[in-house]
Structure 1
């Protein structure tokens, strides 16, 4: 049976990596006070189609017995933000605001499978949402938290690219552009389409040549500090919304910078395609792996969730875990959690081996017992194949099968070095591996 394209499955060594990455993300998010939630896999189809231009990517869900005559009413969620907005509205009376959530779940999109693009994949999200008013300092905090999370992962250097749609919209309005949102959608193509082609598209949208040139000049501004403000002002465009956006973007750049291992840039190409973003927007690329596109993105959304009484503005950022890990090909030092294999001399003595294993487990040392009472050489080979570093010979002898060192030990007191207790990620990919 052939594999289903776009639905990745990990081998044990790869799954260990994924779990360690998710554990690191959880620890980072919870250190900043984010609470975990999980939402259902399906949402009403009309709700999903209401948020952004993604209708062709949604997987509809219905019973086989329903047939073609009964239209689908449910669909698998394509991100975690829209379900989160619905969750907030339904549970607002039981949540404390500002509400800080982290969430890791599968999502589904009907995309064409390719490197870094899947039909089923895991996302890790953080969001902060408030009732009616969300102070801007939360934009800064979300950027900082994700920068810290990225810095602790075994990946190439990440660049967190930050922009603000108020800067773009205010600049376009200051130029006299009637439909800023349309221009943003065109500018968002710059990573995939040459600048001269983007200029043609802008002119087709009704912009004059000099307007298109200034739009592209704005998009060329990338800085690692707040010097972008002076460069934007030098373009000679003024608008109240532009000034607000420049101030907000400066705060985020200053607040998110300084995390070792992550580069933070103000990048005025970034607009984000989904239409619910209203201010700060994020994208993230890896050094040497830029062809993957953004592996971590999000932004500010002031109007995603609302009811007749209240609105619930929020800011969040999402990391594509599968998109990050599958192409990088990271592997763990072993495929099993076991640090020790307890040998079995004869089947009659298996109970003694089991007792040793249980003593080790009671002290937090992952241990398994040899499946067969083979010659000890074969039992050692079995441990080597599984990557298990230690073999215990009952009653009181343990061997590091990598070095050959063997010592007397008691299962009530002996412990392996900390680095051997759990599998570890073997290597960090570099751009040289990206071929």
Structure 2
């Protein structure tokens, strides 16, 4: 008896042409990360629940616990699936500190899992592409200015359209709040972080409900509403009349980030003082990236500086990192906007089969082409050539190779898009570089 297939929401499963598009995006990200000197690591899917819990307001509620089906009901859940790459990376650094060379630059492209309600752009299982720079003892501030440049390099090579990296520094918020007499820094940050979702009046009401005075609430809102594309945010903060040494430090650090971005990736980064990031471990610069055409979609790339996440009690390993939400980005580009690949298979050449008796010769041709790095498939049937061409066309395969039929004409290769057909040598023929691999196809919308 056949069982009914029931879809599970919150997971991406692409068709072959879409999956190739996803792989092209992932390969592009990996290439740029390596160009900037980041080394790849891979961490386990499971972490202890104790390590995962407590990293944000709702982190413990989002963790998928993992245990044996045969476990007793009162057996505690020891392990959970990681919900990001930063927490596992911090553990990895502590376990391998004696074997790593600092400062350590790593990238990690893996799946993560969150037990939250699936909705637009948010999934139960998703791919993240992270970079982090971590050091032993101290981490220079200039790394906080470097990471947005890596992201700008990635996005310049992908068809994502106009975007903006919004940056803030948690020290600005902390110093400002302390300067006006607010002690609950984390609680205030979490409320202000809701500004785009609930609006300024609701944020003001929440701040007052949780103990802030009207003056403190108004000043907190005034700070959060400062957003500039240059370093003029410093003067705007100063004009609010608040003083604190931590505030001074945060302003100087963010100004350096803005200046560096303006030189190397002009027009990409803005100082946006409402950006807070919900996770508690951030201590310095924080980033969120939004698409200009759809800001409501939310951040597609975020991260920040953390100073105490990786510590063994004797030594602390501060770091700064940023994560591209690959599944989130592709949910829009592929799932909603129709980004795809030029073919549904990696194959560039289909070798035709004249008849089944000559199939071994077609297989020899295929082997010769593959030996030179050309993705090749031998036709499954010795059908009429028209049907073999149709087989290739339906899959987006650009070339069909016709073995010598014994009439002295030699092997022939046909570009089925243009109809051009030429004599070819299996040991030297090469397609154009653009035809060797599938490419992204950006849909043309009216």
Root-mean-square deviation over aligned CA pairs: 1.4
Confirm or deny: 8 A CA contact 2:261 2:268 kept in the other structure.
no
1:386 and 2:400 matched: no
Q: Which one of 366, 370, 375 corresponds to residue 375 of structure 2?
A: 366
Distance 1:429 1:296, change over 3 A: farther
Tell me how far 1:264 sits from its aligned partner: 0.8
Q: Does 1:300 align with 2:305?
A: yes
What is the CA-CA distance between 1:46 and the residue it aligns to? 1.0
The answer to whether the 8 Å contact 2:229/2:267 transfers is no
Q: Is 2:354 the counterpart of 1:345?
A: yes
Query: How far off its partner does 1:147 sit?
Result: 2.0
Tell me the equivalent position of 1:406: 421
Match of 1:238 among 233, 240, 243: 243
Partner SS, residue 392 of structure 1: strand
1:397 aligns with 2:412: yes
Q: Please state whether the residue corresponding to 2:117 is helix, strand or coil.
A: coil
SS of alignment partner, residue 43 of structure 1: strand
Deviation of 1:255 (Å): 1.5
Q: Secondary structure at the match of 2:20?
A: helix
**Farther-moved stretch of structure 1 (279-288 vs 208-217):** 208-217
User: Structure 2: 5+ residue runs without aligned partners?
Assistant: 405-410
* Greater mean alpha carbon deviation, residues 87-96 or residues 286-295: 286-295
> Over residues 190-239 of structure 1, what are the superposed CA-to-partner deviations in whole Å (9 max), with x where a residue is unaligned?
12111111111111122222221221111111111111111111112111
Contact in 2 for aligned 1:335/1:386 (Cα 8 Å): yes
**Superposition map of 1:59-138 within 5 A:** 59-138=64-143
Q: Is the 8 A contact 2:46 2:82 kept in 1?
A: yes
2:32 aligned with 1:17: no
- Which residue of structure 1 lines up, in the alignment, with residue 342 of structure 2? 333
- Return the offset for 1:325: 0.4
Structure 1 pair 308/177, CA: closer, same or farther in 2 (3 Å)? closer
Provide the residue aligned with 1:35 in structure 2.
39
1:273 aligned residue (278, 287, 296): 278
Compared CA separation, residues 387 and 287, structure 1 to 2 (3 A): same
User: Tell me, what secondary structure is at the counterpart of 1:161?
Assistant: strand
- The superposition leaves residues 278-322 of structure 1 with CA deviations (integer Å, 9 ceiling, x where unpaired) of 010010111222222111111000000111321111000111100
Residues in 1 aligned to 2:332 and 2:35: alpha-carbon distance in whole angstroms: 29
Shift in alpha-carbon separation, 1:26–1:82, aligned structure 2, 3 A: same
Q: Residue 226 of structure 2 aligns with which residue?
A: 221
CA deviations 1:335-393 (Å, max 9, x no partner) are 10111111111000111111111121111111101100000000011001100011111
* Cα distance in 2 for residues equivalent to 1:389 and 1:259: 39
What CA distance in whole angstroms lies between the structure 2 residues aligned with 1:344 and 1:314?
58
Instruction: Report if aligned partners of 1:126, 1:318 keep a CA contact under 8 Å in 2.
Output: yes
Which residue of 189, 195, 209 corresponds with 1:190?
195
CA contact (8 A) 1:299 1:315 kept: yes
Secondary structure at 2:98 match in 1: helix
1:177 to 182, 198, 222: 182
Q: What's 1:165 paired with?
A: 170
Q: Is the 8 A contact 2:149 2:265 kept in 1?
A: no
Report if the CA contact (8 A) 1:225-1:254 is conserved: yes
Q: How far apart in 2 are the matches of 1:141 and 1:297?
A: 14
Q: Which structure 1 residue ranges, 5 or more long, are not aligned? A: none
TM-score computed with the length of structure 2 as normaliser: 0.94
Indicate which of 42, 45, 48 corresponds to 2:49. 45
Q: Distance in 1 between matches of 2:210 and 2:74?
A: 40
Q: Distance in 2 between matches of 1:2 and 1:415?
A: 46
Number of residues of Structure 1 aligned to a counterpart in Structure 2? 431
Partners of 1:115 and 1:382 lie apart in 2 by 36
TM-score (norm 1): 0.96
**Matched residue SS, 2:310:** strand
CA contact (8 A) 2:152 2:265 kept: no
Whether contact under 8 Å (2:362, 2:403) holds in the other structure is: yes
The question of whether the paired residues in 1 share the 8 Å contact of 2:349 and 2:397 is answered with yes
Contact 1:301-1:315 within 8 A present in 2 as well: yes
User: How big is the shift at 1:114?
Assistant: 1.1
Task: Point out the more displaced range, 161-170 or 235-244.
Answer: 235-244
Distance 1:23 1:93 in 2: 31
